[in-house]
Chains A and B, each alone.
Chain A
Amino acid sequence: MGEQSNFFYAVPQGRHDMLVTPDRDELARQEFVRGFKAYIQSGIVPGVHATYHNEVKPAFEKREGRSPRDRHEIRKLMVEHPLFRTYASMQRVSQELLWDTVLDSVERELPALVARTANRNSLGTLTLDPSLPLPKYAVGVDIHCMPGGYGGEGGPGDVVAGALYDRGVYLYALGMMGPMNDDIGGSAAKFVRDRYPDFKPKRILDLGCTVGHSTLPFVDAFPEAEVHAIDIGPSLLRYAHARAESLGKRVHFSQQDAANTRFPDGHFDLIASSILFHETSGKALPAILRECHRLLAPGGMAVHGDLPPFWAMDEFNQFMLDCETYYNNEPYWGAMREVDQVKESVKAGFAAEHVEFCMAPSAYRSSAGHEREFQAGEFAPGNAWQVLVTRKQ
């Protein structure tokens, strides 16, 4: 289990005024936790794969005269195995330690971070709506075990959720989403430009933007467009606004529910979302697709980037990915991957011939030469992001 994790190239996180500056002990903890996560991937995950394919599956086949039917049956077999238990426990522990180490930096720097959100040049805007009901799927548990969750609001001017998410996601993704954590948005924006060179969106909306990681690439890709971004968390949005301003990007952030926004019909030419769908719910996902149809102008399109649906991988990889549902407070992670998003898009009003899944090549990894195969149990799925593209005629 001790293979070196040398293929995890740890590019330093890109700086901006809102990013926490860990002190030397905090940095050592954060680097250790990132290393621990990388070790689980390179040192333990291959052992879990081998255990299933060489031991658990053949034993089951000998006993039952058939292969395990689906990820649920594989799960029943694997949860009994000590190596899997250790793997799953270590994943959980690494996730808890990750947030805890970042919280140390955030808590220490909090007054300065709050101060830095004030008095800046205003390229874009920030509009909060304290009366907005927070959707239960987003706040019923702390998603991916981030203490306080997306909706967290600990007091006036709070930016904890944003600061925690920004640094935490970088460590979680092992730097594989690039120094600005923006590879999904960057890849989706590049995909739209490459595939539709004549498409010139006037207004763009990013749904579930969190701290704006994936929003900003759209500002760069479409400099003529007016870019809006929404989320439900006030702390996230305060942070997102200050982060965008510090990076010199003009974005209009507002606190809104993606399933029911306040924008008028046909207001946008391009709508994007990045790793949003798997953190919604069985009711919210179709509602968001309907809202996209309402918000798009004729000729407009929506591009939703998320991790691959279950049909795109074998049952064992499905089972490994589904661990997030059970062990990482990702209640919709597994169920979402079974949803027929094409069918739901058609039900939402899009014509079947204008709905498709495409692979958007990773903008960061192809440029940086970090190409590699997807391995279940890890976050960054290889060299391309799966995007759902829906166009309105």
Chain B
Amino acid sequence: MTESTRPQDVGSPDIKVKRSVKGRRPQFFDNVEIDRLHGMMMAMATEMAVLYQRIDTMERVAAEKGVILREDLERHVADAATESERELWRQKFLDRLFYLYREELDDRMARENEAQYRAFLDEIAK
């Protein structure tokens, strides 16, 4: 299994963290691209839930304090540090969205396949 990690600014330099799963991924649909779209769709939905929760929190806190946010938000200009934080966030987001392609790539590099997994099932059941 190859190592694959995200662009990251945190973690422990001495400990490698694996992201991909050892064991060939099953295919559920006739066209594997549909499997991948499922994964992407739900990764996207997760991020929408995160955004929803953030905005919801902001609005609730602002309302509690009697603050009107809209004009402040319209006028806000991000500085360079903010932009680079956001770019890091976008890269992580994309990596999350394309997780199945990362798996596929890792499997191909490690030469994992369905026949191997079936052979493993048979061996374990004996």
The interface of chain A, by Cβ under 8 A from chain B, is 24-25, 28-29, 31-33, 36, 85-86, 88-90, 92-94, 96-97, 99-101, 103, 106-108, 110-111, 114, 136-137, 140-142, 145-149, 152, 154-158, 160, 281-283, 325-327, 329, 331-332, 335
Judge whether B66 is part of the interface by a CB distance below 8 angstroms: no
Judge whether B94 is part of the interface by a CB distance below 8 angstroms: no
B14 touches A25 (CB 8 A): no
**Complex Cα gap A140–B121 (Å):** 10
Question: Which secondary structure characterizes the binding site on chain A?
Answer: helix
**Complex Cα gap A305–B73 (Å):** 56
**Complex Cα gap A142–B29 (Å):** 23
- For B124, list chain A residues within 8 Å (CB): 136-137, 140, 281-282, 331-332, 335
Our count of residue pairs bridging A and B at CB distance below 8 angstroms stands at: 136
- For B20, list chain A residues within 8 Å (CB): 147
B120 touches A141 (CB 8 A): yes
Interface residues of B in 16-30 (CB under 8 A from A): 16-23, 25-26, 28-29
The answer, among B16, B19, B23, B126, for a CB contact under 8 Å with A100, is B19
- For B46, list chain A residues within 8 Å (CB): 29, 32-33, 36, 97, 101
B120 touches A331 (CB 8 A): yes
A388 to chain B, nearest CB (A): 19
- For A141, list chain B residues within 8 Å (CB): 21-23, 117, 120
- For A147, list chain B residues within 8 Å (CB): 17-21
A28 touches B54 (CB 8 A): yes
A85 touches B28 (CB 8 A): yes
User: Given A89-B35, A141-B23, A155–B14 Cβ distance below 8 Å?
Assistant: yes
What 8 pairs across the A-B complex have the smallest Cβ distances?
A: A141-B23, A155-B15, A335-B125, A32-B49, A89-B28, A154-B16, A148-B18, A28-B53
B28 touches A92 (CB 8 A): yes
B17 touches A90 (CB 8 A): no
User: Given A281-B125, A325-B121, A89–B21 Cβ distance below 8 Å?
Assistant: no
A158 touches B15 (CB 8 A): yes
A28-B54, A32-B49, A154-B16 known; 10 new pairs, CB 8 Å cut-off, are: A28-B50, A29-B50, A93-B42, A106-B17, A107-B11, A147-B18, A154-B18, A157-B15, A160-B17, A331-B120
- For A160, list chain B residues within 8 Å (CB): 15, 17
A281 to chain B, nearest CB (A): 4
B19 touches A103 (CB 8 A): yes
- For A335, list chain B residues within 8 Å (CB): 121, 124-125
A107 touches B35 (CB 8 A): no
B57 touches A24 (CB 8 A): yes
Contact digits for B104-125, partner A, Cβ 8 Å, 1 yes 0 no: 0000000000000100110111
- For B126, list chain A residues within 8 Å (CB): 281-283
